[in-house]
Amino acid sequence: MKKVFVKTNNVKRFISMYNNLLERAEGVPGLGLVYGEPGLGKTQTINWWAFKNDIYLVRCNNLMSTKWLLSEILEAMGEYAPRRIFDCFNIIIKNLMMDPKPIIVDEIDYLMMDAKAVETIRDIHDRTNVPIILVGMNSANSKLKKYKHLYDRISEIVRFEPFSKGDIKTIVGELSEIEFTDCAMQCLYKSVNRFRQLVKIINKAENFAKSNGLNSIDETTLKEIIAVEKDLTEPNQTKEKNI
């Protein structure tokens, strides 16, 4: 399988949102939100984009506090976190005022247990005016609405959607070293719509084709591969009941 990053429609919309935040007019707030179901490439996208650009990338964790969040931002900046929250906050503000790099905060859902931590993100934005992109699960948009002062500052929202037929064709075309027939491509679109699942299916299809001397994968073969993959990943309830 080829080692390339595939620009799906979701990725293109993310890039457009990022550029809009950078180039926004005076007075337009600089918070962005990316949300959607798992497996649609949100994390892969922000990892790829952060690597290509000079961006601070921070991941939230379960039970994360304000101090923990500030410490993670400081670590991304290459700074040591002082003991006092006041000092942590001031160092972050000072650094961003001197070098206003955007911040991406992944897994924002974990942070919503602590209102102070969420509002701290707003404070950082208000003091520095740097773009901050929040990334979360499908319910992140509705959950953030209860933080009215923060939500009012979100000027760009991108929801990662299930892959279109065009996305599937692009993903297979750019990743797979084995050709998929049109019928196989249609079958893949109807059966699999998560990036991690797609990568696994493509990898197994390549291995099967190479082992059996095939130049392409047809619908029948693909259905067999998908069926085997489902048997491996889904719990077999019948067997569990018999144990």
**Per-residue pLDDT tens over the stretch 169-184:** 999 999 999 899 999 9
pLDDT at 233: 60
Check pLDDT > 70 for residue 211. Answer: yes
Check pLDDT > 50 for residue 239. Answer: no
Confidence of residue 235 (pLDDT cuts 50, 70, 90): low
Which residues does 51 contact at the CB level (< 8 Å), separation at least 6?
A: none
- 178 is in which domain, residue-wise? 165-232
Check pLDDT > 60 for residue 236. Answer: no
Q: Are residues 106 and 126 in the same domain?
A: yes
In a domain, 237, yes or no: no
Tens-digit pLDDT profile for residues 9-56: 999 999 999 999 999 999 999 999 999 999 899 999 999 999 999 899
Domain boundary residue among 130, 160, 190? 160
Q: What is the mean pLDDT of residues 122-150?
A: 95
CB atoms within 10 A of CB 219: 16
**Cα end-to-end distance, the chain, whole Å:** 39
Higher pLDDT, residue 241 or 120: 120
Q: Are residues 86 and 30 in the same domain?
A: yes
Check pLDDT > 90 for residue 155. Answer: yes
In a domain, 17, yes or no: yes
> E strands, the chain, where?
31-36, 56-59, 103-106, 132-136, 154-160, 179-180, 216-217
| CA dist., res. 116 & res. 100, Å (int) | 23
Domain boundary residue among 104, 137, 160? 160
Which residues does 240 contact at the CB level (< 8 Å), separation at least 6?
A: none
Question: 199 by DSSP, 3-state: which?
Answer: helix
Q: What is the mean pLDDT of residues 94-101?
A: 95
In a domain, 241, yes or no: no
